[in-house]
Amino acid sequence: MPTPVMHLALAEEILHGDALAPAVRRLLIQQRGPFLLGHTAPDVQTISGQRRDETHFYTIPRTTDRPAHETLFATHPVLACAEALLPAQAAFIAGYIAHLLLDELWLTDVFLRYFWQEWGTRCERLFLHNVLRTWMDREDQQRLDGSVAAVLREAEPQGWLPFVSDEHLRAWRDWLVEQLGPGRSVQTAEVFARRMGVSVVEVEAVLSSPQQMEERVFRHIPRAALQSFHDVGYVRSVALINWYIKGTSDR
């Protein structure tokens, strides 16, 4: 699924664009830190030790077509009405459900369509899927400005999720801030290498070679498919956020 950096880059693009309803955009700009944290927060299970479906509200493989945000709100109805929440929490949840949507879109339109097919070995496909995510992560790092870490640092969870403790959300926030700060390095390649049981050198060998990227990655997934994922993800995320915050064109 998209990396935290990829989620942050799209969140920033949404904030700086003009597709959000005016009232929604004003709220999210005022609550930028909570919104950005929410856009990464489903991945907190790497800190909290929870199962992925306990924070993402869907399983892999999928067992239902129900969108993850609907399952979240059915399970925790207290979060379903943004107007009943304080602004910071509403912005956080708006980011949270946008993350879920983007993950689901990546699963169907990228992973299952291009990496769960009959080419190579399963291990090779999973390896190259992670190489692609690391490559996209590095592309998106260049889209983030230096204020992201500082804004995230200011986000202070206060019972925003009934299923994740504030302590774990703060630890997740601090882990992100540590990597995104000035002079820091995002550890995406290291994280994926550790999960796969391979060396970072193997990941970097592909990433650093345009020829290998073309022959081993982009021969299986065209760049146009990645652009389509971005474009569809942007449009659907904006629509979901507008819906959740109750934004309309006349507000």
How do the pLDDT tens digits run along the chain, 251 residues long? 999 999 999 999 999 999 999 999 999 999 999 999 999 999 999 999 999 999 999 999 899 999 999 999 999 999 999 999 999 999 999 999 999 999 999 999 999 999 998 898 999 999 999 999 999 999 999 999 889 999 999 999 999 999 999 999 999 999 999 999 877 778 899 999 999 999 999 999 999 999 999 999 999 999 999 999 999 999 999 999 999 998 533 33
Q: How far is CA 112 from CA 2, 6, 71, 115, in A?
A: 14, 19, 22, 6
Burial class (CB in 10 A: 0-12, 13-18, 19+), 227: exposed
User: To which residue do tokens 């690391």 refer?
Assistant: 134
User: To which residue do tokens 């699963």 refer?
Assistant: 107
DSSP 227: H
| Residue 76 resides in a domain | yes
| Residue 250 resides in a domain | no
Burial class (CB in 10 A: 0-12, 13-18, 19+), 118: exposed
| Residue 57 resides in a domain | yes
Domain that holds residue 18: 4-245
| Residue 128 resides in a domain | yes
| Residue 251 resides in a domain | no
| Residue 52 resides in a domain | yes
Q: How many CA atoms lie within 13 A of 121 on its CB side?
A: 3
Q: How many CA atoms lie within 13 A of 72 on its CB side?
A: 25
pTM summary value: 0.95
Buried b (16+ CB within 10 A) or exposed e, 47-84: bbeeebeebbbbeeeeeeeebbbebbbeeeeebbebee
| Residue 109 resides in a domain | yes
Q: Based on the structure, what is the number of domains in the chain?
A: 1
Predicted local confidence at residue 246, as pLDDT:
86
